[in-house]
């Protein structure tokens, strides 16, 4: 109890009273006479004791205990495996049925232990729609390096099919910084470059807050995203400026509360695995 400590100190030490008094009237330095100190001591002790009393009067520890919502029990996954309440979007070829091509046709990507971009086939999106989520994605750019800049291991994770977290081989591969791996494409440069060498599995852990729109289509609240790349924070709750644009400035256009997650086909055979998501 700091106040209590102060009380004791003040009550037992005239020097402290003197210092307090001088502090209180420090703008007009007056040296108090000794006869005034006793009065001041009683005044300050009374004031601090009153504050202490008012501060805690009628309150109990239980008053600030919150019993309104019992958190559900969730069993964490071992390593990066999904926790018990996650929706698994890809853990093997049987999960391909959870996806559909961007063109509405059957997905044309290679589906085995990993899900690999087919440069001849469109991007893919989930059949299920999502809003606020926690998302885990593991990805791997091709081991054999071809191309450079944006042409090297390019794909992308489009939250709600509109907001791209860039996937790119950014290991010793320079490009515009708001277009490298971990960027919110053309909006935010990653805080650091946590890329691993090509051919290595990498992971993104993403927290995404969906935007909301008013009835007239105007923006009510923007989207936010936090991204951890290979265990390193690279985007810290940044406010998205709108849907991803290749040319021109991003802007928001009203859309549904939930939309499918999309993986981009950018001609490079990038692979994905262990994709799971939790609705928030």
Burial class (CB in 10 A: 0-12, 13-18, 19+), 149: middle
Nearer to Mg ion, 114 or 262 (CB): 262
Reduced to 3 states (helix: H, G, I; strand: E, B; else coil), residue 110 is: strand
Nearer to Mg ion, 82 or 156 (CB): 156
Binding mask 240-269 for Mg ion (x = CB under 5 A): ------------------------x-----
Burial class (CB in 10 A: 0-12, 13-18, 19+), 69: exposed
Selection from 231, 60, 246, 96 nearest residue 158 by Cα? 246
Q: In which residue are the tokens 């599995």 written?
A: 201
Instruction: Please give the backbone phi and psi of residue 52, each rounded to the nearest 5 degrees, phi first.
Output: -60, -40
Burial class (CB in 10 A: 0-12, 13-18, 19+), 77: middle
Nearer to Mg ion, 41 or 140 (CB): 140
Q: Smallest distance from the beta carbon of 179 to Mg ion, in angstroms?
A: 8
The DSSP bridge pattern shows strands 110-111 and 224-229 to be unpaired
Which tokens belong to 187? 């909006």
Q: Smallest distance from the beta carbon of 268 to Mg ion, in angstroms?
A: 9
Binding mask 206-245 for Mg ion (x = CB under 5 A): ----------------------------------------
Q: Smallest distance from the beta carbon of 167 to Mg ion, in angstroms?
A: 6
Nearer to Mg ion, 111 or 263 (CB): 263
- Report how many residues bind Mg ion under the rule CB under 5 A: 3
Q: Smallest distance from the beta carbon of 79 to Mg ion, in angstroms?
A: 27
Nearer to Mg ion, 202 or 264 (CB): 264
Nearer to Mg ion, 3 or 118 (CB): 118
Subset of residues 126 to 155 that bind Mg ion, contact rule: CB under 5 A = 154
Q: Smallest distance from the beta carbon of 90 to Mg ion, in angstroms?
A: 18
Burial class (CB in 10 A: 0-12, 13-18, 19+), 39: exposed
Output the CA torsion 224→243→269→198 (10° steps). -40
Q: Which residue is nearest to Mg ion (CB)?
A: 156
One of 107, 131, 153, 156 touching Mg ion (CB under 5 A) = 156
Q: Smallest distance from the beta carbon of 207 to Mg ion, in angstroms?
A: 20
Nearer to Mg ion, 44 or 180 (CB): 180
Q: In which residue are the tokens 């469109």 written?
A: 122
Q: Smallest distance from the beta carbon of 247 to Mg ion, in angstroms?
A: 14
Output the CA torsion 99→104→106→112 (10° steps). -30
Which tokens belong to 182? 């971990």
The residue ranges that bind Mg ion (CB under 5 A) are 154, 156, 264
């Amino acid at each position: 109890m700091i106040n209590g400590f102060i009380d004791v100190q003040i009550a037992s030490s005239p020097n402290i009273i003197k210092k307090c008094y001088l502090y209180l009237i420090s703008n007009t330095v007056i040296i108090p006479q000794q006869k005034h100190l006793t009065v001041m001591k009683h005044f300050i002790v009374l004031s601090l004791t009153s504050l202490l009393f008012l501060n805690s009067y009628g309150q109990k520890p239980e008053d600030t205990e919150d019993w309104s919502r019992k958190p559900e029990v969730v069993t964490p996954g071992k390593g990066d495996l999904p926790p018990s309440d996650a929706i698994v979007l890809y853990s093997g070829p049987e999960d391909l049925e959870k996806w559909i091509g961007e063109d509405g046709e059957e997905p044309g990507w290679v589906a085995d232990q990993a899900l690999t971009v087919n440069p001849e086939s469109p991007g893919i999106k989930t059949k299920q729609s999502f809003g606020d989520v926690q998302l885990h994605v593991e990805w791997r750019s091709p081991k054999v390096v071809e191309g450079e800049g944006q042409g090297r291991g390019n794909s992308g994770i489009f939250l709600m099919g509109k907001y791209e977290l860039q996937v790119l081989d950014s290991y010793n591969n320079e490009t515009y910084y708001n277009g490298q791996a971990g960027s919110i494409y053309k909006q935010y440069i990653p805080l650091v470059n946590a890329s691993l060498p090509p051919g290595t599995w990498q992971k993104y852990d993403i927290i995404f807050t969906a935007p909301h729109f008013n009835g007239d289509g105007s923006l009510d609240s923007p989207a936010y995203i936090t991204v951890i790349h290979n265990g390193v924070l690279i985007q810290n709750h940044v406010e998205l400026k709108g849907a991803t644009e290749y040319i021109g400035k991003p802007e928001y256009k009203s859309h549904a509360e939930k939309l499918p997650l999309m993986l981009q086909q950018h001609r490079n055979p990038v692979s994905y695995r262990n994709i799971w998501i939790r609705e928030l």
